Structures are given as C-alpha cells and as structure tokens.
Structure 1
Amino acid sequence: MKTFTLLYTTLILTTLQSTVFTAPTSTKHKRWRHPGAKRPVAGHSTDDDPFHDYIAILSDDETRPWAEIFDEMGFSTKGSKKMTHSLGVNSNGKPSYNMTSYDMNGIKTFGKNLRAFTINMRESDAEGMDGNPSLVSLEKTQMRQWAFVPGSKKVLPSIPLAEQGFRDFGLRKRQDNLMWIQQGNAPWNLQRLSCEHKIDIKGRLPTDLKFNYRFDETAGNGVDVYVVDSGINVDHVEFQGRARMMFSYFGKVNDDVGHGTHCAGTIASLHYGVAKNVNIWGIKVGDSNGVNGEAIVAGIDAAITRHNQRKSQPGFMGSVISMSVGTAPPQQSDFMILQKAVQAGMHVSVAAMNSATDACSFSPGAFSQQIPIINVGAADIDDTRAPFSNFGKCVDVYAPGVSIVSTFNNDATGIASLDGTSMACPAVSGMIADELVRNPKLRLDPAAMKKHILGKALKGVIKSDNVITGAELMANNGFPGDPK
C-alpha cells in the first residue's frame, strides 16, 4: 500500500503556448513600456524581431491582484481560465493552502513567495518592459541540464530483499556519549564522508558495496529535504515510506529519468543515504525532455511555502533544498528564488555542473558568492577532482561524485551507478540534514550552517593534475580517524 501523498499544481501542467503577443494600444500599457523602446516596423522581417518565451518576476512591493496588473498591461482577464491550485501539505497530509492564478492566451501566473508569470512575446516587447518598476527580472526562459555525466549510467543488478542485509549495522558509542552506527555494506562515497584519510581500496571496485560508513543514530531525524529534480520512485524499499511527491510541473509525478531517485537515495535511503531518517519531498521540475526555468521557480516557491508553514509546527527540525540541475550563463530567476529560500531559513545545496571549467559561469552555483548556498564539486575515490567537475572560487566544497551507487527508478529495489556533480550535491544535502539535528541553533541560519559545513571539511586532500593545492575542501562529517 502506498504511503505517500500526491499533490501537484495544474497551474503549469502544460508547456508554454507559442501565442502571439500583440502590444496593446491602451494608454494603461504606458507603464509597461519605456519611451525609447524600439517598435516592430510594419512589413519588417519577423526574423529581426523574433518571439521568445520569457519569465517575468514581480517586485516585492507589487502586491496588486493579477487582474489589475494585466488590465494595466492592456489585457483583460475576462474569459481567461481562472484556476485555484492546492500546493504543499500540512501535518495531516492534506492541502495546506490554495492559490488563484490565470492562464490566458499563453500567459501563466505562478508563485506565492516570488510572484511571476511566463509569456511568449517579441524581443521588442520585452525590451519595452525594461526598467518597469513592477518588475525585478525579465529574462528568456532557459532549459536546464541534469548535472550527471551522459553515458556514465550503469544499472546494477537489484539486490533481493532477503540478501540486502538490513541488519549489517553495528552500534557503537562515541566519545560525546551520543550513539553512533557503523554500516558495513556501504558504497564508497559514504565511507569517504566519514573518515579522515583517502580510502585504501584493498582490491575493491568503486561500485562494490563493501565499504564502511559511520553516522549518528539520529541521522537527520525529522528534517525535511526537498529534492528539486525529476521526481522520486517513492515505492522504492530503501526509502521506507519516508519519500513523498508534493509538486510536479507536469501532469505526471513518476520519475521517468531516474536522476531524482538516485539523488534522493544518496541523501536519505537506508543503505546508500547519508541521513537515513529524513523526510524526502519530491519537487518534479524536469522529465526526459529536460528542465524548464519556470518550473524551478514554481517548484522551489512551493517548497518555501510549505517550509514557512512547518516552522511553527511541532517537530520541525529544519528544511534543505537539494538541486542537482543547472545551466550557463547564470540565470536571474534562479538567484531570485534561491534568495527567497535562504531568507526564509532554508538550507540549499547545489551542483557545480560538469563542464570542467569555471563554476562561476554556471547557474545556480555562481550565486554561492552572493547568498549562503553551498556549491558542490565532484571528486573520485582517489581524492582527485573529477575530470568533468567545474572548479574555482565558486565551488565551496567537493564530495564524492564518481561511480556513485544509489537507488534508481527501474523497480522497488533497483540501483545504478552514476557520475557527476549531481551525485556530489546530495551527499552534502544529507550532511546538512544530519547537522540540523546535531545543531538545532542552526535550524534557520543558512549562513552559519554553510560556515559550519565548510569548517568541518578536510583541507589539503583534493588533487588536481596530481597536485594538492590546499585550496579545495572535501566534505566530511567530522568522525575522527577511519572506520575499522
């Protein structure tokens, strides 16, 4: 019997329609065009003034109803499709709030914490909106990419339930009298996070489940982690009923890519996860066709709303956003929505992306220098920066990202090995969740949490071109020595 709750918005179930946007002639439209903006010339080739899909984000002080805003633009909401959507869930698993939006002639509104709309229009009309006091951002929509290496996927034989060794966890005592557990059938990436020195392979393959992982018994207990990705295979036995879907940009919630399930498994699954007790919430913003920028904004906006409701509820332990998607160049919409998230007290881990170049050229990792999000690069089992990983000052910390075994979408016990900063990011997401339980004072302080995570990281171990510069950090949970 399924134990998850499914809630998604019909607000943006369909992709943007390529509807022609004709600049209205109403005098009310003046506020939406600056006097020097160029206008299409009658009979001029449309190739010189093409149509694009845009995402427009309103300023915080623009609180008027959508109908009034569109009326000022010269549009009438009469006859438009007015919709009420349920987003987020409360402690009883029921819809936690409703939002009214409009879908008219290809213009769609969305967002509660960051109000935005998407529209298809000519470049000249977009230029005419430049400097409008009601807008803080107007940019062409940009497809995002999954931050895993194409061709690296290796679907591994599923382990029968009877042979999975659920009891291969040895309980020990730690010096501070907290109980800790050593897992003896872990993937290599988990061992690397909980030891001081490079792993002695001893004839093992990186995909062998023969490594040791040490973690606190609490292991992120009660923390909410929002996986902004392709969805999650919530029926996978490794999630033990802790994974639910709460948002989808599409009319489907299944993980048709496998990427989201793999990332969620590294965060929270029983055998492959860093924080084995967290609550996983799926935010589906992409499918086999890719990820839309407006889906990112809408999905994270829904997560912020649920987080704000949870903050006052009993048992709230903190919220983490894990985002293993990105693109180049940096996108203002990514910055705006993630800024809202950290201002609300959410902790954010993102992937540095995989172009073997300066991470400051990619979204959203480039913003790690402006807002307290953690941008994660990838390393291999030899503590060498992965050849595909982006690097530079915008990478805050490295984590294992090569030959990472985790849950997959093929069945309820499926596993796969993948490479990418996509695989490194969720490891840090899980570490944040674990630290939220250990350090409740950091629950709503992303800046202090980032400083804490980087302060525990290992220095002087990451190699690049066989040289240790000492500048890079390797994520570590702080256990002394190495597991036995």
Structure 2
Amino acid sequence: MQHARKARRLAGLFAGAAVVTSFGLAGTATAQTDEGKILHANGKASIEDRYIVVLEDAAANGPGGVRAAAQDLSDQYSAQVERTYEHALRGFSVTAGESEAKRLATDPSVKYVEQDQRVHAVGTQENPPSYGLDRIDQRDLPLDGSYTYPNEGSGVTAYVLDTGVRTSHNTFEGRASSGYDFVDGDSTANDCNGHGTHVAGTVGGEQYGVAKDVDVVGVRVLDCQGSGSYSGVIDGIDWITQNADGPSVANMSLGGPASSAVDDAVRTSIESGVTYSLAAGNSSADACNSTPARVAEAITVGATNRQDDEASYSNYGSCLDLYAPGSNITSAWIGSDTDTNTISGTSMAAPHVAGAAALILSANPSATPAQVRDTMVGTAGTGKVGNPGPGSPNKLLYVGGDTGEEPPGEPGNTAPSADFTVSCYYGSCSFDASSSGDSDGTVTDYAWDFGDGATGNGQTVTHRYSDGGGFTATLTVTDDAGATGSASTQIRCYAFGGGSTYCFS
C-alpha cells in the first residue's frame, strides 16, 4: 500500500474507531457472563478443551508481561495455562471448558481465542529411486548425473520444525544439534519417526543436502507418529524467533487446517528476519486453505516428479511460490548413522527450497526473507512444470546461478504490483484491487485470503467477518507470465450480541 493512501484511510477511520470504543465500553459490564466466539472451533482436527489465546498489545506489554496476563486471565476464567508465547506470538495456550473459553474471548485484554488443532507431518509414500539434487542445478531435462552448487551454505543456520533430528547421522558431519524438544519438554530433540531427519538431510546433509555446510538445528514439535498440536508448533516458532542469530532459515514440512494463531506466529518470525520454507501439503487441493502453507510472506512449495510434472498428491494454487522435486527423494533416516530412506511428498520438496535459501543467505548474509524469496522465485525456471494445478505459478526451483548477483528474472517480465482498498460496513468488508497492475503484461488472477480461514477470487470481493479479533487480509495477484505479487492489511473486528460484528481496517 502507498503510505499516502494508508494515511488517508487511517485518518478517515478515527471516527469509526471512536464508535467501536463506545460500543466496547458499553459491553464491558457483562464481560463475565457474555460468551464470545472461538476461531476454528469444532473442526475435524480440533483438540477438545484446548485453546490458544492471543493478547492485545496493551495486555501483553503490561506489568509482568505475557506470563502475568496469562495467569491473571486463567484464574479469572477458570482455565489452566499450558504454554506461554512471548516472541513470535504474544499469548498463551490453556485447558478450559468451552463456556469458559467463550467468556475468555470477550475479555478486552484478548485479541482472539482459537481452538487448538492437531497438526501432522505432511504424508509420505515409501520406497522408489531419487533425483532431487540432480534436477535443481539445471534448467531443463534430461538429468546430467551431477549436482553443481554455487556455495555450501556456510554461515547459515537451518531450523527444522519437525519430529526431531538424528544429529549423530554421518551425513551431518557434526553440524547438527538439538534446539528444543516441545513434545518431551527437554533440550534433546531426538527423532523417533524419521521424517525430521529425512527433511534435515535434504536441507543440509553432506550426501543428500542442497546446502552442504549449513548448521542444522532440530526443533521437535511432532511426536513419534508424526503428529502434534498447533499450540506446540507455536512454541517451536516462538523458540526460533527468540534464538535465531545471524542468517537463518526455517523449514516446516507440516500442516493442517487453517489457524490464525500459527499464521500470525510465522509472520512475526519472518518479520524478525527468519526465512521460512513451507510444504504446500499433500491433499491435491488448494494450499490457500491450509496452515501454514497459506502464509504469503513465507515460501510455499509444491512438489514435482522426475518428469517435472506436478506430483499427483501436491497441493496447488495462488498461495504457492514455486515447485521443487518431491517424489522419490532419498535422504538420511533413523535406523543407524548411515541409514537412508526414499520417500515422497511436499515435505521433501520444501527442504530443497530451505537449502536453496541457505545458499542465497550464505552469499548475501544481510538479505531479508522477502529478498530471499524474490531471488529464488526470480531465478526459478518458468514454464517447466507439467500440468500445474489451478492458479499455481509455473516456477521450478533452480540453484545453478550465482546467488551473489541480483536475480535476472524472466527476460522481459516484471512481477505485478498488488494493491487494494478496504471499506467495511459493520461486519461486511468490501475489497477492491483495481489499483493493482502489471507494467508489462496483464493481471490474470486476484486471490484473497481474508485471514479468518476464508478465501476468495476476483478483482472486487465482499467478505463478512462473523468473529471478533484481528485478521490479516492478503491479496496475491498473478500476471500472464505466472509472476506474483502480494499485499496485506490488518482488519480489526469487534463482536457483539446476536452475532453482529463491527470491523475496520
């Protein structure tokens, strides 16, 4: 958004904000008995009586900070604090009954309450032959039987949020370490599943890795079955945000239903300087309906097979940034320090991109996450992916260029510019992207993520927010050459009795 337009919009919204304030004051007398709404409640992946609470800034920054606010609110609403978040997200998770959680959602100190959900490693398919590294250093098929890389990723740290890492595996050459285990609650992030070790090997293994000298840190958020909770995943993101120092990349080969809290945590971690590579998911569906794949500020990765076709299982859509090899990938495993396994999934595609991000950061240590993403997307091969899903960018990962230079981009093509305005009447908000454009082509797709789990398409759209809270609305535009551009803004909504809401941006 241009600053002038934003300033005019904000100036025009002071009156609306004043109205909201007066409504809020009128409602505080009954906050103890009124029931608010829980985001993403009662879904298929919901965890009963577990909730994630995100605080308003004033509450998070008050005396005693997040921990004091968490304890005070949990005491007030008969809840039990399980985890607190102070870096990627300002809030906490609780165990509470549904009615207590709904009352907690009405407290003026609370931005929103979301039901905790199960999350899982993106599924894999056992046993075939591998080819990933051979593919990403050349523009076209056939494969030439070698992997040539511009550097080894030295000086970069890669965090693997997964089932843990077998740090003693020979492929890591002593460069792998444990960050924290949020499943067992200790500092040894051992892997009893294999998924995390495989992912880490593709990021930075000596035999199997894209970045062969990167430092690998395991952050365990999934159990021996490859499952976990969003509250645990946020713990891992929060830990990385607090501890990352210097050029850093994080890989999340996991996912589940839409979660505003996880999305917000990833965005904040990216704002702190960590580049995130995300698996698009294996449901052969629109990635914009999944978390964290729908986070526009990250790099979301679909999977291809040996023939450069979109893998049959890969998620697709405008939330993808590019594709990478994901089928039949061989990497490290957990049976011994020399064990390997060959599996498939977008879980295997994402670490190729995380490794590529490490190569870019090694050559350009001060690059921001947005610059890393733009460099990678700009140098990716265009038109190489066979049968990409609807709305997907036809971009295939390429690391054969000199990552120390500015990306050449596709000759003659400039990425489109995303821009939009928002106007809200009570809970109904109208979005207009007519100010978006493309200097050397045509915008062919307008994809919206409204931040509350809903999505839409079109130059002008209307969306009704039924819950109170803060939401990040994101527009992604795609041009006729497959390049994309994104823009976001914050929507703030207040919920009142009878299901009505009042929103403004």
Structure 2 matches for 1:426-465, cutoff 5 A? 426-442=351-367, 445-464=368-387
With CA pairs under 8 Å and 6+ residues apart, which has the higher RCO, 1 or 2? 1
Letter in 1 for 2:86: K
Letter in 1 for 2:135: R
Q: Is the 8 A contact 2:80 2:96 kept in 1?
A: no
3-state DSSP class of the match of 1:119? strand
Does 2:118 correspond to 1:143? yes
In structure 1, distance between residues paired with 2:308 and 2:249: 26
Distance 1:477-1:120 versus aligned 2 partners, 3 A rule: same
Deviation at 1:320, TM superposition (A): 0.3
Partner of 1:123: 98
Of the structure 1 ranges 116-125 and 400-409, higher mean CA displacement relative to structure 2 is found in 116-125
Distance 1:134-1:412 versus aligned 2 partners, 3 A rule: same
In structure 1, distance between residues paired with 2:238 and 2:374: 25
In structure 1, distance between residues paired with 2:310 and 2:277: 18
Q: Is the 8 A contact 2:322 2:393 kept in 1?
A: no
3-state DSSP class of the match of 1:356? coil
Letter in 2 for 1:425: A
3-state DSSP class of the match of 2:118? coil
Does 2:50 correspond to 1:75? no
From 225, 250, 254, give the equivalent of 1:321: 250
Partner of 2:205: 269
Moved over 6 A (4+): 467-470
- Cα deviations by residue, 1:221-264 (Å, 9 ceiling, x for unpaired): 01011000000000100100000011111226320110000000
Partner of 1:313: none
Structure 2 matches for 1:254-403, cutoff 5 A? 254-289=190-225, 290-307=227-244, 310=245, 316=246, 318-328=247-257, 330-368=258-296, 372-403=297-328
- Cα deviations by residue, 1:62-118 (Å, 9 ceiling, x for unpaired): 223257435643728xxxxxxxxxxxxxxxxxxxxxxxxxxx974223223123322
Partner of 1:476: 398
Q: Is the 8 A contact 2:36 2:105 kept in 1?
A: no
Distance 1:38-1:469 versus aligned 2 partners, 3 A rule: closer
Distance 1:438-1:126 versus aligned 2 partners, 3 A rule: same
In structure 2, distance between residues paired with 1:410 and 1:391: 33
Letter in 2 for 1:112: E
Does 2:125 correspond to 1:191? no
In structure 1, distance between residues paired with 2:371 and 2:380: 14
Partner of 2:156: 223
Unaligned 5+ segments in structure 1 are: 1-29, 40-49, 77-103, 157-186, 202-210, 311-315
Deviation at 1:123, TM superposition (A): 2.2
Distance 1:32-1:264 versus aligned 2 partners, 3 A rule: farther
In structure 1, distance between residues paired with 2:395 and 2:74: 53
TM-score, structure 1 normalization: 0.69
In structure 1, distance between residues paired with 2:292 and 2:195: 18
- Cα deviations by residue, 1:170-200 (Å, 9 ceiling, x for unpaired): xxxxxxxxxxxxxxxxx51001100010234
Of the structure 1 ranges 266-275 and 106-115, higher mean CA displacement relative to structure 2 is found in 106-115
- Cα deviations by residue, 1:45-66 (Å, 9 ceiling, x for unpaired): xxxxx95211112233322325
Distance 1:432-1:425 versus aligned 2 partners, 3 A rule: same
Deviation at 1:143, TM superposition (A): 0.7
In structure 1, distance between residues paired with 2:212 and 2:304: 23
Letter in 1 for 2:53: A
Distance 1:341-1:70 versus aligned 2 partners, 3 A rule: closer
Partner of 2:85: 111
Distance 1:67-1:430 versus aligned 2 partners, 3 A rule: closer
Deviation at 1:133, TM superposition (A): 3.2
Deviation at 1:145, TM superposition (A): 1.6
Distance 1:468-1:294 versus aligned 2 partners, 3 A rule: closer
Q: Is the 8 A contact 2:191 2:197 kept in 1?
A: yes
Partner of 1:47: none
Unaligned 5+ segments in structure 2 are: 1-27, 38-46, 403-505
Does 2:30 correspond to 1:56? no
TM-score, structure 2 normalization: 0.66
Q: Is the 8 A contact 2:161 2:251 kept in 1?
A: yes
Partner of 2:447: none
Deviation at 1:148, TM superposition (A): 2.7
Letter in 2 for 1:447: A
- Cα deviations by residue, 1:296-350 (Å, 9 ceiling, x for unpaired): 111111111112xx2xxxxx3x01010000002x101211111111110110100
In structure 2, distance between residues paired with 1:295 and 1:242: 25
In structure 1, distance between residues paired with 2:325 and 2:68: 51
Distance 1:394-1:270 versus aligned 2 partners, 3 A rule: same
Letter in 1 for 2:354: S
3-state DSSP class of the match of 2:183? coil
Letter in 2 for 1:361: N
After superposition, the CA RMSD in angstroms is 2.8
Q: Is the 8 A contact 1:460 1:469 kept in 2?
A: no
Letter in 1 for 2:256: T
Deviation at 1:367, TM superposition (A): 1.7
Deviation at 1:155, TM superposition (A): 9.4
In structure 1, distance between residues paired with 2:333 and 2:268: 31
